[in-house]
Amino acid sequence: MVEQPQTDLETSDTPASAPDTPIDASSKPEDHLRVLLGAYQETLDVSEHLPAIVWIRLRRRGLGRLIKVPHLRWFLRYFLAEHIRRGLNLLNRRFHATAALTSDSEVNQANLSDVEHYLEALPPPPYKRLGLAVLVAVLAVAYPLRSLGDVTPMLSIVWYAAASDPIGAINVVVNTEFLEAARGTLALLLAVFVVAFLPTSTFVLKRLLFNLYPGAKDRFGSIAARDYVSSVEGLYTLEDRVYGYFGGRRPREFPFDLLVRILVLALVLLPLMAFAGLLSLMVTTETLRTNWAVLAIILFIAFVFRLRRLLIPWRERNRPSEPPPADHRDSILHQRYALLIRRLQQGIQAIDPFPPLRTKKDPNLAFVLGFLFSGVGLGIYFRSWVDLVIPSIASIVSLILVIALHHSGLWIVAPVIGGLWGSLRTVSSNGRL
Protein backbone atom coordinates (compact mmCIF):
# COMPACT_ATOMS: atom_id res chain seq x y z
CA MET A 1 0.00 0.00 0.00
CA VAL A 2 1.33 3.43 -0.91
CA GLU A 3 1.86 5.62 2.07
CA GLN A 4 -0.34 8.69 2.20
CA PRO A 5 1.01 12.17 2.98
CA GLN A 6 2.17 12.73 6.52
CA THR A 7 0.15 15.20 8.53
CA ASP A 8 0.15 16.75 11.95
CA LEU A 9 -3.64 16.89 12.03
CA GLU A 10 -4.52 13.20 12.04
CA THR A 11 -6.96 13.60 14.91
CA SER A 12 -8.46 16.90 13.84
CA ASP A 13 -12.03 16.97 12.56
CA THR A 14 -12.16 20.71 11.94
CA PRO A 15 -13.82 21.40 8.58
CA ALA A 16 -12.16 23.48 5.95
CA SER A 17 -12.70 27.21 6.11
CA ALA A 18 -12.41 29.98 3.58
CA PRO A 19 -8.89 31.28 3.03
CA ASP A 20 -7.94 34.48 4.74
CA THR A 21 -6.68 36.34 1.68
CA PRO A 22 -4.44 39.42 2.06
CA ILE A 23 -6.61 41.54 -0.25
CA ASP A 24 -9.20 44.18 0.53
CA ALA A 25 -11.14 46.90 -1.21
CA SER A 26 -8.16 49.26 -1.18
CA SER A 27 -5.79 46.81 -2.88
CA LYS A 28 -4.72 47.36 -6.48
CA PRO A 29 -6.29 45.21 -9.22
CA GLU A 30 -2.99 43.46 -9.91
CA ASP A 31 -2.76 42.52 -6.21
CA HIS A 32 -6.05 40.63 -6.44
CA LEU A 33 -4.93 38.77 -9.52
CA ARG A 34 -1.50 37.88 -8.16
CA VAL A 35 -3.01 36.45 -4.99
CA LEU A 36 -5.16 34.17 -7.17
CA LEU A 37 -2.20 33.18 -9.35
CA GLY A 38 -0.17 32.43 -6.24
CA ALA A 39 -2.97 30.20 -4.95
CA TYR A 40 -3.07 28.36 -8.28
CA GLN A 41 0.68 27.83 -8.20
CA GLU A 42 0.60 26.59 -4.61
CA THR A 43 -2.09 24.05 -5.54
CA LEU A 44 -0.03 22.87 -8.52
CA ASP A 45 3.03 22.49 -6.30
CA VAL A 46 1.07 20.46 -3.75
CA SER A 47 -0.19 18.15 -6.50
CA GLU A 48 3.41 17.47 -7.59
CA HIS A 49 4.40 16.21 -4.13
CA LEU A 50 1.44 13.87 -3.60
CA PRO A 51 2.07 10.13 -3.86
CA ALA A 52 0.77 8.20 -6.84
CA ILE A 53 -2.11 6.86 -4.73
CA VAL A 54 -3.67 8.96 -1.96
CA TRP A 55 -5.83 7.05 0.54
CA ILE A 56 -8.67 9.15 1.97
CA ARG A 57 -11.41 8.20 4.41
CA LEU A 58 -14.87 7.76 2.93
CA ARG A 59 -16.76 9.43 5.78
CA ARG A 60 -15.90 11.36 8.90
CA ARG A 61 -18.23 9.35 11.18
CA GLY A 62 -19.84 5.93 11.29
CA LEU A 63 -18.55 2.87 9.52
CA GLY A 64 -17.31 5.04 6.66
CA ARG A 65 -14.47 6.38 8.80
CA LEU A 66 -12.94 2.88 8.75
CA ILE A 67 -12.97 2.72 4.94
CA LYS A 68 -10.22 4.42 2.93
CA VAL A 69 -10.68 4.92 -0.80
CA PRO A 70 -7.72 5.23 -3.21
CA HIS A 71 -7.49 8.39 -5.30
CA LEU A 72 -5.04 8.34 -8.21
CA ARG A 73 -2.78 11.31 -9.01
CA TRP A 74 -1.85 10.27 -12.55
CA PHE A 75 -3.79 12.98 -14.43
CA LEU A 76 -4.26 15.46 -11.62
CA ARG A 77 -2.24 18.19 -13.32
CA TYR A 78 -4.50 17.89 -16.37
CA PHE A 79 -7.64 18.65 -14.34
CA LEU A 80 -5.90 21.47 -12.47
CA ALA A 81 -4.40 23.05 -15.59
CA GLU A 82 -7.67 22.79 -17.51
CA HIS A 83 -9.61 24.53 -14.70
CA ILE A 84 -6.99 27.28 -14.36
CA ARG A 85 -6.71 27.78 -18.12
CA ARG A 86 -10.48 28.19 -18.57
CA GLY A 87 -10.67 30.70 -15.73
CA LEU A 88 -7.72 32.80 -16.88
CA ASN A 89 -9.02 32.82 -20.45
CA LEU A 90 -12.28 34.26 -19.10
CA LEU A 91 -10.33 36.99 -17.31
CA ASN A 92 -8.24 37.61 -20.41
CA ARG A 93 -11.33 38.21 -22.53
CA ARG A 94 -12.77 40.39 -19.79
CA PHE A 95 -9.67 42.59 -19.76
CA HIS A 96 -9.69 42.94 -23.55
CA ALA A 97 -13.40 43.85 -23.51
CA THR A 98 -12.75 46.52 -20.86
CA ALA A 99 -9.91 47.97 -22.92
CA ALA A 100 -12.14 48.10 -26.02
CA LEU A 101 -15.07 49.73 -24.21
CA THR A 102 -12.92 52.38 -22.51
CA SER A 103 -10.78 53.08 -25.61
CA ASP A 104 -7.75 52.84 -23.35
CA SER A 105 -5.22 50.24 -24.46
CA GLU A 106 -3.24 50.66 -21.25
CA VAL A 107 -6.08 49.68 -18.89
CA ASN A 108 -5.48 46.35 -17.18
CA GLN A 109 -2.20 46.07 -19.08
CA ALA A 110 -0.37 44.70 -16.05
CA ASN A 111 -3.12 42.13 -15.45
CA LEU A 112 -3.10 41.10 -19.10
CA SER A 113 0.64 40.57 -18.96
CA ASP A 114 0.39 38.49 -15.76
CA VAL A 115 -2.37 36.30 -17.20
CA GLU A 116 -0.54 35.71 -20.48
CA HIS A 117 2.70 34.83 -18.70
CA TYR A 118 0.96 32.37 -16.41
CA LEU A 119 -0.95 30.75 -19.27
CA GLU A 120 2.38 30.16 -20.98
CA ALA A 121 3.71 28.53 -17.80
CA LEU A 122 0.85 26.03 -17.48
CA PRO A 123 1.71 22.44 -18.48
CA PRO A 124 0.15 21.30 -21.77
CA PRO A 125 -2.74 18.82 -21.51
CA PRO A 126 -1.41 15.22 -21.70
CA TYR A 127 -3.74 14.16 -24.48
CA LYS A 128 -1.48 11.32 -25.61
CA ARG A 129 -1.24 9.84 -22.14
CA LEU A 130 -4.98 10.24 -21.60
CA GLY A 131 -5.76 8.47 -24.86
CA LEU A 132 -3.28 5.70 -24.12
CA ALA A 133 -4.69 5.18 -20.63
CA VAL A 134 -8.28 4.95 -21.93
CA LEU A 135 -7.21 2.51 -24.68
CA VAL A 136 -5.33 0.28 -22.22
CA ALA A 137 -8.28 0.32 -19.80
CA VAL A 138 -10.77 -0.60 -22.53
CA LEU A 139 -8.58 -3.45 -23.82
CA ALA A 140 -7.91 -4.71 -20.30
CA VAL A 141 -11.64 -4.84 -19.56
CA ALA A 142 -12.92 -6.02 -22.94
CA TYR A 143 -11.05 -9.33 -23.11
CA PRO A 144 -12.22 -10.93 -19.82
CA LEU A 145 -15.75 -9.56 -20.32
CA ARG A 146 -16.20 -11.52 -23.55
CA SER A 147 -16.90 -14.66 -21.54
CA LEU A 148 -19.04 -12.85 -18.96
CA GLY A 149 -21.79 -11.63 -21.23
CA ASP A 150 -22.79 -9.86 -24.45
CA VAL A 151 -23.26 -6.13 -23.86
CA THR A 152 -24.87 -5.49 -27.25
CA PRO A 153 -28.52 -5.76 -26.02
CA MET A 154 -27.85 -3.38 -23.11
CA LEU A 155 -26.12 -0.88 -25.38
CA SER A 156 -29.12 -1.07 -27.71
CA ILE A 157 -31.49 -0.33 -24.83
CA VAL A 158 -29.38 2.65 -23.76
CA TRP A 159 -29.28 3.91 -27.37
CA TYR A 160 -33.04 3.66 -27.82
CA ALA A 161 -33.63 5.32 -24.45
CA ALA A 162 -31.31 8.21 -25.38
CA ALA A 163 -33.09 8.52 -28.74
CA SER A 164 -36.51 8.64 -26.98
CA ASP A 165 -37.64 5.47 -28.74
CA PRO A 166 -39.40 3.35 -26.08
CA ILE A 167 -40.81 0.93 -28.68
CA GLY A 168 -37.32 -0.04 -29.82
CA ALA A 169 -36.16 -0.51 -26.23
CA ILE A 170 -39.18 -2.69 -25.44
CA ASN A 171 -38.56 -4.85 -28.51
CA VAL A 172 -34.95 -5.43 -27.44
CA VAL A 173 -36.05 -6.37 -23.92
CA VAL A 174 -38.74 -8.76 -25.18
CA ASN A 175 -36.32 -10.49 -27.56
CA THR A 176 -33.55 -10.84 -24.97
CA GLU A 177 -33.43 -13.68 -22.46
CA PHE A 178 -33.31 -12.71 -18.82
CA LEU A 179 -30.02 -14.49 -18.08
CA GLU A 180 -28.39 -12.99 -21.14
CA ALA A 181 -29.61 -9.51 -20.20
CA ALA A 182 -28.36 -9.91 -16.62
CA ARG A 183 -24.90 -11.03 -17.76
CA GLY A 184 -24.71 -8.22 -20.31
CA THR A 185 -25.72 -5.65 -17.68
CA LEU A 186 -23.08 -6.93 -15.28
CA ALA A 187 -20.41 -6.82 -17.99
CA LEU A 188 -21.36 -3.29 -19.04
CA LEU A 189 -21.38 -1.99 -15.45
CA LEU A 190 -18.00 -3.54 -14.77
CA ALA A 191 -16.55 -2.00 -17.94
CA VAL A 192 -17.92 1.46 -17.12
CA PHE A 193 -16.62 1.27 -13.55
CA VAL A 194 -13.12 0.17 -14.53
CA VAL A 195 -12.72 2.67 -17.37
CA ALA A 196 -14.20 5.58 -15.38
CA PHE A 197 -12.43 4.87 -12.09
CA LEU A 198 -9.12 6.46 -13.09
CA PRO A 199 -10.38 9.94 -14.14
CA THR A 200 -13.14 9.98 -11.50
CA SER A 201 -10.81 9.39 -8.56
CA THR A 202 -8.39 11.99 -9.94
CA PHE A 203 -11.18 14.55 -10.37
CA VAL A 204 -12.28 14.03 -6.76
CA LEU A 205 -8.67 14.62 -5.66
CA LYS A 206 -8.64 17.88 -7.64
CA ARG A 207 -11.79 19.09 -5.86
CA LEU A 208 -10.27 18.20 -2.50
CA LEU A 209 -7.16 20.25 -3.30
CA PHE A 210 -9.31 23.28 -4.15
CA ASN A 211 -11.54 22.92 -1.08
CA LEU A 212 -8.63 22.39 1.33
CA TYR A 213 -6.60 25.41 0.20
CA PRO A 214 -4.50 26.75 1.90
CA GLY A 215 -2.36 23.99 3.39
CA ALA A 216 -4.09 21.16 1.54
CA LYS A 217 -1.22 18.70 1.85
CA ASP A 218 -1.20 18.81 5.65
CA ARG A 219 -4.96 18.26 5.92
CA PHE A 220 -5.50 15.15 3.81
CA GLY A 221 -5.19 12.82 6.80
CA SER A 222 -8.03 14.45 8.75
CA ILE A 223 -10.76 14.85 6.11
CA ALA A 224 -13.36 12.60 4.49
CA ALA A 225 -14.10 12.57 0.77
CA ARG A 226 -17.90 12.56 1.17
CA ASP A 227 -17.77 15.78 3.23
CA TYR A 228 -16.65 17.69 0.15
CA VAL A 229 -19.00 16.32 -2.49
CA SER A 230 -20.89 19.63 -2.74
CA SER A 231 -18.50 21.96 -0.85
CA VAL A 232 -17.45 25.30 -2.31
CA GLU A 233 -14.61 26.40 -0.02
CA GLY A 234 -10.94 27.30 -0.04
CA LEU A 235 -9.71 28.19 -3.52
CA TYR A 236 -13.27 28.29 -4.87
CA THR A 237 -14.02 31.09 -2.39
CA LEU A 238 -10.91 32.98 -3.47
CA GLU A 239 -11.97 32.61 -7.11
CA ASP A 240 -15.39 34.07 -6.29
CA ARG A 241 -13.78 37.09 -4.67
CA VAL A 242 -11.22 37.80 -7.41
CA TYR A 243 -13.43 37.06 -10.43
CA GLY A 244 -16.24 39.04 -8.82
CA TYR A 245 -13.87 41.96 -8.31
CA PHE A 246 -13.27 42.09 -12.06
CA GLY A 247 -16.99 41.82 -12.83
CA GLY A 248 -17.11 38.13 -13.73
CA ARG A 249 -17.65 34.79 -12.06
CA ARG A 250 -15.43 31.81 -11.52
CA PRO A 251 -15.37 29.14 -14.24
CA ARG A 252 -18.07 26.53 -14.01
CA GLU A 253 -16.79 23.14 -13.01
CA PHE A 254 -18.15 20.21 -14.99
CA PRO A 255 -19.20 17.55 -12.43
CA PHE A 256 -17.36 14.63 -14.01
CA ASP A 257 -17.59 12.38 -10.93
CA LEU A 258 -21.33 12.95 -10.48
CA LEU A 259 -21.99 12.25 -14.16
CA VAL A 260 -20.26 8.87 -13.88
CA ARG A 261 -22.28 8.00 -10.78
CA ILE A 262 -25.53 8.98 -12.53
CA LEU A 263 -24.56 6.82 -15.51
CA VAL A 264 -23.92 3.79 -13.30
CA LEU A 265 -27.18 4.43 -11.44
CA ALA A 266 -29.12 4.53 -14.70
CA LEU A 267 -27.46 1.36 -15.99
CA VAL A 268 -28.34 -0.47 -12.76
CA LEU A 269 -31.90 0.60 -12.00
CA LEU A 270 -33.48 1.48 -15.35
CA PRO A 271 -33.04 -1.96 -16.98
CA LEU A 272 -34.29 -3.65 -13.80
CA MET A 273 -37.29 -1.31 -13.67
CA ALA A 274 -38.09 -1.92 -17.34
CA PHE A 275 -37.79 -5.68 -16.89
CA ALA A 276 -40.10 -5.68 -13.84
CA GLY A 277 -42.63 -3.52 -15.66
CA LEU A 278 -42.68 -5.81 -18.69
CA LEU A 279 -43.12 -8.89 -16.52
CA SER A 280 -46.08 -7.22 -14.81
CA LEU A 281 -47.70 -6.95 -18.24
CA MET A 282 -46.76 -10.42 -19.45
CA VAL A 283 -47.64 -12.67 -16.51
CA THR A 284 -51.18 -14.06 -16.36
CA THR A 285 -51.58 -14.44 -12.60
CA GLU A 286 -53.00 -11.35 -10.92
CA THR A 287 -50.88 -11.82 -7.80
CA LEU A 288 -47.63 -12.02 -9.77
CA ARG A 289 -48.70 -9.08 -11.89
CA THR A 290 -49.25 -6.98 -8.77
CA ASN A 291 -45.94 -8.03 -7.22
CA TRP A 292 -43.91 -7.16 -10.33
CA ALA A 293 -45.73 -3.84 -10.71
CA VAL A 294 -44.97 -2.95 -7.08
CA LEU A 295 -41.31 -3.88 -7.60
CA ALA A 296 -41.13 -1.64 -10.68
CA ILE A 297 -42.62 1.25 -8.69
CA ILE A 298 -40.11 0.73 -5.87
CA LEU A 299 -37.21 0.73 -8.34
CA PHE A 300 -38.52 3.89 -9.96
CA ILE A 301 -38.84 5.65 -6.59
CA ALA A 302 -35.32 4.53 -5.66
CA PHE A 303 -33.96 5.84 -8.97
CA VAL A 304 -35.67 9.24 -8.58
CA PHE A 305 -34.59 9.57 -4.95
CA ARG A 306 -30.96 8.73 -5.68
CA LEU A 307 -30.90 10.91 -8.80
CA ARG A 308 -32.16 13.83 -6.75
CA ARG A 309 -29.42 13.22 -4.18
CA LEU A 310 -26.83 13.47 -6.97
CA LEU A 311 -28.36 16.53 -8.63
CA ILE A 312 -28.23 18.56 -5.41
CA PRO A 313 -24.39 18.69 -5.25
CA TRP A 314 -24.35 19.20 -9.04
CA ARG A 315 -26.28 22.44 -8.51
CA GLU A 316 -24.51 23.44 -5.30
CA ARG A 317 -21.01 23.29 -6.80
CA ASN A 318 -21.69 26.16 -9.18
CA ARG A 319 -23.35 28.45 -6.66
CA PRO A 320 -21.38 31.40 -5.25
CA SER A 321 -19.47 30.41 -2.13
CA GLU A 322 -20.41 33.77 -0.60
CA PRO A 323 -24.15 34.37 -1.19
CA PRO A 324 -25.17 37.89 -2.25
CA PRO A 325 -27.10 40.15 0.15
CA ALA A 326 -30.41 39.32 -1.56
CA ASP A 327 -30.09 35.66 -0.69
CA HIS A 328 -32.89 33.27 -1.59
CA ARG A 329 -33.03 32.20 2.04
CA ASP A 330 -34.67 35.56 2.82
CA SER A 331 -37.53 34.92 0.43
CA ILE A 332 -41.05 34.29 1.73
CA LEU A 333 -41.25 30.92 -0.02
CA HIS A 334 -38.06 29.67 1.63
CA GLN A 335 -39.19 30.95 5.05
CA ARG A 336 -42.51 29.13 4.74
CA TYR A 337 -40.74 25.95 3.68
CA ALA A 338 -38.38 26.17 6.67
CA LEU A 339 -41.36 26.81 8.99
CA LEU A 340 -43.19 23.77 7.57
CA ILE A 341 -40.12 21.58 8.15
CA ARG A 342 -39.81 22.79 11.76
CA ARG A 343 -43.51 22.15 12.42
CA LEU A 344 -43.21 18.67 10.95
CA GLN A 345 -40.19 17.89 13.14
CA GLN A 346 -42.03 19.20 16.21
CA GLY A 347 -45.04 17.04 15.36
CA ILE A 348 -42.88 13.94 15.02
CA GLN A 349 -41.22 14.65 18.36
CA ALA A 350 -44.62 15.18 20.02
CA ILE A 351 -45.94 11.74 19.02
CA ASP A 352 -42.70 9.96 19.96
CA PRO A 353 -42.95 9.14 23.70
CA PHE A 354 -39.76 7.08 23.75
CA PRO A 355 -36.42 8.42 25.00
CA PRO A 356 -33.96 9.68 22.38
CA LEU A 357 -31.18 7.49 21.11
CA ARG A 358 -27.66 7.72 22.50
CA THR A 359 -26.18 9.41 19.43
CA LYS A 360 -27.42 11.06 16.25
CA LYS A 361 -28.22 8.67 13.43
CA ASP A 362 -28.66 8.92 9.67
CA PRO A 363 -32.40 8.88 8.74
CA ASN A 364 -31.64 7.60 5.21
CA LEU A 365 -29.66 4.64 6.51
CA ALA A 366 -32.36 3.99 9.13
CA PHE A 367 -35.02 3.88 6.40
CA VAL A 368 -33.02 1.38 4.35
CA LEU A 369 -32.34 -0.88 7.35
CA GLY A 370 -35.96 -0.71 8.45
CA PHE A 371 -37.20 -1.44 4.94
CA LEU A 372 -34.91 -4.44 4.45
CA PHE A 373 -34.64 -5.92 7.95
CA SER A 374 -37.52 -4.31 9.90
CA GLY A 375 -37.04 -4.24 13.67
CA VAL A 376 -33.97 -6.49 13.62
CA GLY A 377 -31.92 -4.03 11.58
CA LEU A 378 -33.20 -1.00 13.50
CA GLY A 379 -32.61 -2.62 16.88
CA ILE A 380 -28.98 -3.35 16.01
CA TYR A 381 -28.40 0.07 14.44
CA PHE A 382 -30.09 2.04 17.25
CA ARG A 383 -29.01 -0.37 20.02
CA SER A 384 -32.54 -0.15 21.38
CA TRP A 385 -34.97 -2.87 22.40
CA VAL A 386 -37.91 -0.54 21.72
CA ASP A 387 -36.91 -0.15 18.08
CA LEU A 388 -36.40 -3.89 17.81
CA VAL A 389 -39.79 -4.92 19.19
CA ILE A 390 -42.29 -2.33 17.94
CA PRO A 391 -41.45 -2.33 14.20
CA SER A 392 -41.21 -6.14 14.24
CA ILE A 393 -44.66 -6.49 15.80
CA ALA A 394 -46.14 -3.92 13.39
CA SER A 395 -44.64 -5.71 10.37
CA ILE A 396 -45.88 -9.12 11.57
CA VAL A 397 -49.40 -7.77 12.13
CA SER A 398 -49.46 -6.20 8.67
CA LEU A 399 -48.36 -9.50 7.08
CA ILE A 400 -51.07 -11.37 8.96
CA LEU A 401 -53.67 -8.90 7.66
CA VAL A 402 -52.36 -9.30 4.12
CA ILE A 403 -52.69 -13.08 4.37
CA ALA A 404 -56.15 -12.81 5.89
CA LEU A 405 -57.31 -10.50 3.10
CA HIS A 406 -55.85 -12.84 0.45
CA HIS A 407 -54.10 -9.94 -1.25
CA SER A 408 -50.42 -10.76 -1.46
CA GLY A 409 -49.73 -7.63 -3.47
CA LEU A 410 -49.88 -5.62 -0.23
CA TRP A 411 -46.76 -7.31 1.14
CA ILE A 412 -44.93 -4.02 0.55
CA VAL A 413 -46.74 -2.52 3.56
CA ALA A 414 -44.56 -4.46 6.03
CA PRO A 415 -41.16 -3.17 4.82
CA VAL A 416 -42.59 0.34 4.39
CA ILE A 417 -43.64 0.33 8.04
CA GLY A 418 -40.13 -0.59 9.11
CA GLY A 419 -38.56 2.06 6.89
CA LEU A 420 -40.88 4.85 8.02
CA TRP A 421 -40.40 3.93 11.68
CA GLY A 422 -36.62 4.09 11.33
CA SER A 423 -36.65 7.40 9.45
CA LEU A 424 -39.18 9.19 11.70
CA ARG A 425 -37.62 7.83 14.88
CA THR A 426 -34.23 9.16 13.76
CA VAL A 427 -35.64 12.63 13.00
CA SER A 428 -37.37 12.76 16.39
CA SER A 429 -34.31 11.58 18.31
CA ASN A 430 -31.84 13.86 16.50
CA GLY A 431 -34.06 16.86 17.24
CA ARG A 432 -33.86 16.17 20.98
CA LEU A 433 -30.09 15.58 21.22
Bridge partners (DSSP) of residue 18 are none
DSSP-based three-state secondary structure for 7: coil
Cα 260 from Cα 193, distance rounded (Å): 8
DSSP SS3 for 25? coil
- For residue 12, the tally of other CB atoms under 10 A from its CB is 13
Residues 6+ apart with CB under 8 A from 350: none
Q: Are 173 and 273 in contact (CB under 8 A)?
A: no
> How many other CB atoms are there within 10 angstroms of residue 78's CB atom?
20
User: What string of DSSP letters covers 316-376?
Assistant: HTTS-SS--SS-GGGSHHHHHHHHHHHHHHHHHHHT--SPPPSS---HHHHHHHHHHHHHH
Distance, CA of 112 to CA of 92 (rounded, Å): 6
Stated pTM of the model: 0.63
| pLDDT by residue, tens only, the chain of 433 residues | 344 444 433 434 444 444 544 555 445 666 778 888 888 888 888 888 888 888 888 777 666 677 788 888 877 888 888 888 888 888 888 888 877 777 766 767 777 888 888 888 887 776 677 667 766 766 666 666 666 666 667 667 667 766 667 777 777 767 776 677 777 777 777 777 777 777 888 888 888 888 888 877 777 777 877 778 878 888 888 888 888 888 778 888 888 888 888 877 877 777 777 777 777 777 777 677 777 777 778 888 888 888 888 888 887 887 766 544 444 445 455 566 567 667 766 666 666 677 888 888 888 788 888 888 888 888 888 888 888 888 888 888 887 777 776 666 667 777 888 888 888 888 888 877 7
Q: List C-alpha distances in Å: 30 to 20, 27, 102, 365, 431.
A: 18, 8, 18, 50, 49
The number of beta carbons lying within 10 Å of the beta carbon of residue 37 is 18
Letter string b/e over residues 230-258, b meaning 16 or more CB atoms within 10 A of that residue's CB: bbbbbbbbbbbbbbeebeeebbebebbbb
CA distances in angstroms from 244 to 11, 86, 121, 229, 248, listed in the order given: 36, 16, 24, 24, 5
For residue 156, the SS3 value is helix
Continuous H helices in 163-230: 166-174, 178-211
